[in-house]
Structure 1
Amino acid sequence: MSTSTHWHSTISAPSFILSHLSHSLRSRPNANLTLLFNISKNSTSPYLFYSAIIPTTKHPLIEPVAAQRNPSFPSFSYRCSRISQSIHGLIFLGLSGASPHRPHARICNPTTRRSIDLPVPPPFSGRFGTCWYSFSFGFDPARNQHKVLLTVVFLPSAGYEMVVEYWIFTLIGGGDWRPISYPIIGYYSANMGTYSNASVGTYINGSIYWWASPGREYQVRRTHVLEFDVGSEEFRLVELPDEAQCREEEECSLVEIDGHLGILDCRELKYGGNDIKIWVLEGNSNWVKRSIMFPLPDWGDIQDPPRLWYKGSIYTGEMMFAPSVPTANGMYCVFFYDITVNLLRRFDVQGLPECSGPYQKIYIVDHVETLLSLPRVH
């Protein structure tokens, strides 16, 4: 056996891949943030992928971090409009939108620079009316399986009930899309038919969570969260405390707090305050409330600082906050917030493309290196 063949056999072995992933999760000398940018809203505008290596120091960096164009993601022949959390180093990209366009999905491994396109889902039930769809990415820890959930919402003309369909694809051994039952009447995962990334959901320890929306109304008070157990492929509704009920998802976010689902209420930040509230779900229905005085961001010499938005979390447990677009001087300021010590640290990222216009989107994904292979799909 040649040296190259032996080496390929070694790094392809499941035991080596698992050991490499475990080591990456344990040590992680850097937080690798993959930044995505959409230059315009039209159907021909692609996403541009950039990466920036952020050291784990608990102190702000004096010098900006340089972002580099990331060649790990093959270009789409269609516009990607959603990105998932990174699960074990795999990143899910999906084209979500409305009929008559068919949904497309891709899973990428930036470490190995490999990607696969999932099979196009079969024709839906053929009901009349507008059809909205969106993808979500999750993991079943009991069976060690990654799965993709497709949500399809039919919005018929006035006077008819809205219909929801769910389809599941198992990355290894699944073969094809399977329809699954949805027994919950009157609620569905919110943000369908919008440009919010919240339609992807928030994955936490074997479950995916969304805001639950009653009927076809978007601007209504969110009274429940919808949970999907990736292993059992079952849904359940989780009722929210009265104080945690939000009307707009841009003011309240579903977050992970120490492995639990949390509701992050940032409504005060919108009006210049710094009082944020967090509700953490402990058990099936017990919500624990915490009130925190959010540290005032240090904007340095930036005049008229923009509003901060919640962008997700990183492996340290810190939350990410950032503006919707880079500041006027071309810098993109990312703030990491450590809730345990109430510390807010800032990093400046430079080298990103210019963003302008009302439809710009910047998604930030915390990434870990992995050698996980992607299966062939048909």
Structure 2
Amino acid sequence: MKLHLDLQYFAGEKTEKATPKKRQDSRKKGQVAKSQDVNTAILLFFVFIALIVMGGQWKDTMTSMYEKSFTEYIHWDITEYSVHTLFVELTLEMAMTLAPVMGIAMLAGVAANYMQIGFLFTTEPLQMKLNKLDPIQGAKRIFSARALVELLKSLLKISIVGVVTFSILWMNKDDMMMLAGKDVNGALAFFGNITIQMGIAASIALLILSVMDYTYQKYDFEKNIRMSKNDIKDEYKNIEGNPLIKSKIKEKQRQMAMRRMMSEVPEADVIITNPTHYSIAIKYDEEKGDAPYVVAKGVDFVAFKIREIAKANQIMLVENRPLARALYDQVEIGNVINEEFYQAVAEILAYVYRLKQKA
């Protein structure tokens, strides 16, 4: 009894790698090996690269808006129309300024996702599930090992990004102290340069961390989708289908094979019978083989149908009980007859050919 329970336990333990079907089903549910840190790092990196390219244009745009506000907008009368116009113009200007960076950020996010999981569209994670509202399950998720790992990862990221950004500020502390002697353009250029340096350095540090995080996420994903031996057996049964459906499919296949076999009977040279219970249709074709082969065979009702088709097509029936039984048992449809039957079949075919010549 104890041995039986132990076997059941080990059969239910998830020790096997996931099957392709299990992976496909998990993917449809949105369960894939993916690191959000990869998305964040790549997005930040390309956004700061875009700032390098478009920083000068942003400065000119912001300066132009500032000048226009104090040279033109300040003289407008405060009316409903003027306030509406002011907000529309400023909103459009800001939208045109930010649109390229937002577009780059979107493309970087899509590219980062595609690099990790390829193309995937599913609404499964968005579906409402009542078990997510269960406070007990929620507490288990909060105090789980995965939550602890995520907390440690967050602390590590904050520490590394903090060290990187502080290091850059510390290396430029002397220039920062001299800002009092610089004009506005010089101060803006300094802070813009420092910001971009810190952003790119932080994104590179996050990218290095994201590689390790992706490795962990892949390991954790593989662990979560493992299957037990019972799971694999159940999946195989489901793939095979319901026994009733299987029997219907097999019956349909038998019917198709029967129709195919019956369509070959009119091509036979002779039908060897039992005389009533067995019918074997034999044909000899030099182009297909050196020996005669079985075109069709059957017992009882099928044998009767073979004889019926043979009579309708004027194919001769020859009674030979031992030979009919032996051919039925030992030769499959479409196969040439065994050597032991060569002489008996050859005599029957010679007899049939002589009768055909006389006719």
Pair in the same fold by TM > 0.5: no
From the CA coordinates, give the structure whose radius of gyration is larger: 2
Higher strand share: 1
Higher helix share: 2
For normalisation by structure 1, the TM-score amounts to: 0.17
For normalisation by structure 2, the TM-score amounts to: 0.18
Structure with more relative contact order (C-alpha pairs < 8 Å, separation 6 or more): 2
